[in-house]
A and B are shown apart, each in its own frame.
Chain A
Amino acid sequence: MSDFQIKKSPTVYDAIIVGSGAGGGMAAYVLAHAGQKVLMLEAGQNFDPRLDSHQLKWPWESPRRGAGTVRPFGDFDASYGGWELEGEPYTQKNKSEFEWFRSRMLGGRTNHWGRISLRMGPDDFKPKDGLTDAWPITYADVKPFYDKVDRMIGIYGTAEGLENEPDGIFMKPPKPRLNELFIKKGAEKAGVRVITGRGSVLTEALPNNNDRAPCFYCGQCGRSCKVYGDFSSSSCLVNPAVKTGNLTVITDAMVREVITDKDGTAKGVSYVNRKDLQEYQVNGKLVILGASACESARILLNSKSTSHPNGLANSSGVVGKYLHDSTGASVSGFLPQLMDRKRYNEDGVGSVHIYSPWWLDNRKLNFPRGYHIEYWGGMGMPAYGFGGGVAQMNGMVPGRDGKMKEAGGYGKSLKDDYRRFYGTGVGMAGRGTAIARESNYCEIDPNTVDKYGIPVLRFNYKWDKDEILQAKHMQETFLSIMKEMGAVVTSEIQGADTNYGLLNPGKIIHEVGTIRMGDDPKKSALNKYCQAHDCKNLFVVDAGPFVQQGDKNATWTILALSMRTAEYILAQKKKQNI
């Protein structure tokens, strides 16, 4: 007799939440604080920034000196994961090169993200150009939730009064660094607006919160923060929700599928424990997916039953479709004016101090929508790769004696050059709107399973001329800003052969749209409250419901929508509708 069995728990939770990132964390926070008994399943292991962050470590504390060998964003980055996970493949169709970043840990990708916290604007929800479907909700519907998220979590910025870049409730912003002042001057000459950044970092004490301390300006948000000075779902949402006594978290729980009743209602979730490899089934009155846009789509597509033969919440066939990730392209170089600069601590915050919101009118352009620009540079902490460009740069500008010298070298003269060029680096990257297309999708690969036996995703994604022309415009703009600020470009000049440096889809890690919301059940999986049209007690709270992302990073909108959904759930429960 086989000892294979599925361990079924008799407990019926008010809600089961799959995933502990921004969406799952917020739903858990709201529901647990309202007294709901909630079970959260997280595929990865436990992570608490206070204990597990590598904040304030020095490069020599890493044998690889911070290189990205095992963690794509460097050895101290707060991500257990990456674009490739051992034993958890995904596949491609039609030569697609979609790259899927997964963090297997409590808090998910919110532990290491850039904390750039932008609201989508009125035009992002209801596009005026008619190119993509409108959301079933407006900015006005979401605004109160953005406001609540701002107050609850904390965000710095400045009120600018830009229509499609709505202001929030801001704490004081960090002051600009020296290179950012050069950028400001140069960008203005190039006709590009630069404003104060908007980041979820506490530049002031958060009122009525004793768990989180203000930022102490180490600039290391990517490592996650030991004093909870920035937003991570683990520190700001999940831990407080656990403290209510109403949230139970099970880590290492890799969800296989949502279990439905004969009438098609969700009744629970089955998962495999990554550590003991045993199979479990848990029951809840509601199931809320917040596993990430692609992982939630995967779970739905794998949840086939007689009532949901096409996968759960997928009678429309849209689940997996309309996948889109922000566009990304960049330019970098150095500012010769900053050679031999004075040393001081300019770490600042680990999110952006400045950025350029989209500033142009598309009627005069050959591509739709737009992009924002993020900037970097300055006297950062040395890490693997340090000084890599100096042996080229030292042949581009005069030496101490005013004469040009040969690029390269060694010895005391090279050592002097490393010092001279330190802190002169500057660069910028665009993050733009990619059009949500039905033809860009993820689906179940019928031939491939992961090491847990769960069928994996297969991606089909092609950039269109809209995105390529946008990248071309980015390159032209960046070179113009670099020129106006007197910078020397050291990155390769990108042309048509490389799609103007447009990165592979998935590379910006803003993938959204796979379980989109809408009023028409034939064209959408969820209603405007992120409730499945086909299954009233199933909700999705990650970036799956996005109809069309703006050029704004997704997290602040995920938080606002998840809070809105959680409040809707509470209201519906009160009315006994679910």
Chain B
Amino acid sequence: MNRRDSLKALGLTAISTTVLLEACKQPEAKTDVAAPEESTKEAGREQWELDRDKNLKSETFFTKHEMATITVLADIIIPKDEVSGSASDAKVPEFIEFIVKDIPEHKTPMRGGLKWLDVYSFNKFQKPFIEASADQQISIVDEIAYPKKARPEMQAGVAFFNRMRNLTASGFYTTEMGVKDIGYVGNAPNQWAGVPADVLKQYGMENVKI
């Protein structure tokens, strides 16, 4: 069955099929960060949105050192495992560079948090965070990754790590790699027939009716 036939089998009409075949095309670029593009015209976008994106993409916020630190942290938060790659495999640092410009409230807490991390690392190990050994890095992360048990004086680090963890998850699970990992299988034309029978049975919901 080719794609057109399978769409027909789903009960879609000729007009929807044509529109959907177009809409279902995966974007050509496999990169996980939208490539900088000409902001001339795009369907469904106001011109000011396109101009704004273009401006944001032309700016650079983080320094090389900051980006390297973000990369180490992101990969500590989401490392490669048997299911999927790491945060940096999914270009999470590049996403973070964009999003702090897009949502400027992130800028100071991120910059300041990275600085806090380096100062803490320097006081403890006489090295900035990225030059500390893997074990040393993890020992610092252990002090800021568990909000409830962290020592009160680590609160600035905890707040930074919370933000860094959230941005990393946002950046990772919104890529093709992350969506596959988490198992989201929607965003495709289908006929919704309700909860599968085995799942209803698993939760004892066979007899629940709305």
A194, B202: Cα distance in complex, Å: 23
Q: Give B209 Cβ to nearest chain A Cβ, in Å.
A: 8
Nearest chain-B residue to A217 (Cβ)?
Answer: B192
A554 to B35, CA, bound (A): 41
Taking a contact as CB atoms under 8 Å apart, the answer to whether A178 and B195 are in contact is yes
Closest to B177 in A: A60
Give the residues in chain B near A432, CB-CB below 8 Å.
Answer: none
Q: Which of the residues B20, B52, B210 comes within 8 Å of A226, measured between beta carbons?
A: B20
* Residues of chain A at interface, number, CB under 8 A: 88
The segment from A412-420, A503-511, A538-546 found at the interface with B is: A412-420
Q: Is the CB of A384 within 8 A of B174?
A: yes
- Tell me, yes or no, whether A95 is within 8 Å of chain B by CB: no
B176 touches A60 (CB 8 A): yes
Residues of chain B from 87 to 135 with CB closer than 8 A to chain A in the complex = 95, 98-99, 102-103
Q: Give the docked Cα–Cα distance between A67 and B96 (Å).
A: 13
Cα of A65 to Cα of B102 in the assembled complex, Å: 11
Q: How far is the CA of A52 from the CA of B49 in the complex (A)?
A: 14
Contact between chains at B170 and A65 (CB < 8 Å):
yes
The residue of chain B having its C-beta at the shortest distance from the C-beta of A194 within the complex is B210
Residue in chain B with minimal CB distance to A344: B196
A196 near B210: Cβ-Cβ < 8 Å: yes
Q: A395 — which chain B residues lie within 8 A by C-beta?
A: 148
In this complex, which of B27, B33, B189, B210 has the most chain A Cβ atoms within 10 angstroms of its Cβ? Answer: B210
Interface string of B55-90 (1 = CB under 8 A from A): 011000000000000000000111101010000000
Against B, the Cβ 8 Å flags (1 = close, 0 = not) of A143-185 are 0000000000000001000000000000000111110111011
| B: contact size bracket | 35 or more
B77 close to A387 (CB less than 8 A): no
Interface of A is mostly: loop
Chain B CB within 10 A, most for which of A62, A69, A177: A69
Cross-chain contact of B187 among A64, A185, A381, A385 (Cβ < 8 A): A381
Q: Does B139 interact with chain A (Cβ within 8 Å)?
A: no
Chain B CB within 10 A, most for which of A354, A390, A411: A411
Q: Which of A333-360 contact B (CB under 8 A)?
A: 337, 341-349, 353-354
* A55 to B57 alpha-carbon distance, docked (Å): 24
Q: Please measure, in the bound complex, the distance between the C-alpha atom of A55 and the C-alpha atom of B98, giving whole angstroms.
A: 23
- For A185, list chain B residues within 8 Å (CB): 205, 208
How close is B107's CB to chain A, nearest CB, in angstroms? Answer: 13
Question: Among residues 402 to 418 in chain A, which have CB atoms less than 8 Å away from a CB atom of chain B?
Answer: 406-412, 414-415, 418
Q: Are B202 and A342 in contact (CB under 8 A)?
A: yes
Residue B191 is within 8 A (CB to CB) of chain A in the complex: yes
Q: Tell whether, in the assembled complex, residue A63 and residue B173 are in contact, meaning their CB atoms are under 8 Å apart.
A: no
* Complex contact A213–B12 (CB within 8 A): yes
Taking CB as reference atom, which chain B residue is nearest A76?
B44
Q: Is the CB of B170 within 8 A of A347?
A: no
Q: Is the CB of A227 within 8 A of B15?
A: yes
How close is A171's CB to chain B, nearest CB, in angstroms?
A: 14
The reply on B3 being an interface residue by CB < 8 A is no
Residue A51 at the B interface, CB < 8 A?
yes
A80 at the interface (CB under 8 A from B): yes
Q: Is the CB of A387 within 8 A of B166?
A: yes
Which residue of chain B is the closest to A62 with respect to CB atoms? Answer: B34
Of chain A, the residue at the smallest CB distance from B189 is A216
Are the C-beta atoms of B203 and A64 separated by less than 8 Å?
A: no
Q: List 15 A-B contacts (CB under 8 A).
A: A47-B44, A63-B57, A63-B102, A65-B99, A70-B52, A184-B210, A216-B20, A227-B19, A229-B16, A343-B183, A381-B186, A382-B174, A395-B148, A406-B149, A415-B181
Nearest 7 A-B pairs (CB), nearest first?
A: A175-B194, A387-B169, A213-B16, A59-B174, A52-B44, A343-B183, A216-B189
Given A61-B34, A64-B98, list of 12 further CB < 8 A pairs?
A45-B46, A60-B174, A63-B102, A69-B102, A178-B205, A181-B200, A195-B210, A348-B192, A391-B165, A407-B146, A407-B148, A415-B81
Q: Which residues of B contact A (CB under 8 A)?
A: 10-13, 15-16, 19-20, 23-24, 27, 32-34, 43-44, 46, 48-49, 52-53, 56-57, 76-79, 81, 83, 95, 98-99, 102-103, 141, 145-149, 162, 165-166, 169-171, 173-176, 178-179, 181-196, 198-200, 202-203, 205, 208-210
Binding site for B on A (CB under 8 A): 45, 47, 50-56, 58-67, 69-70, 78, 80, 86, 158, 174-178, 180-182, 184-185, 194-196, 205, 210-211, 213-214, 216-220, 226-227, 229, 337, 341-349, 353-354, 379-388, 390-391, 395, 406-412, 414-415, 418-419, 422
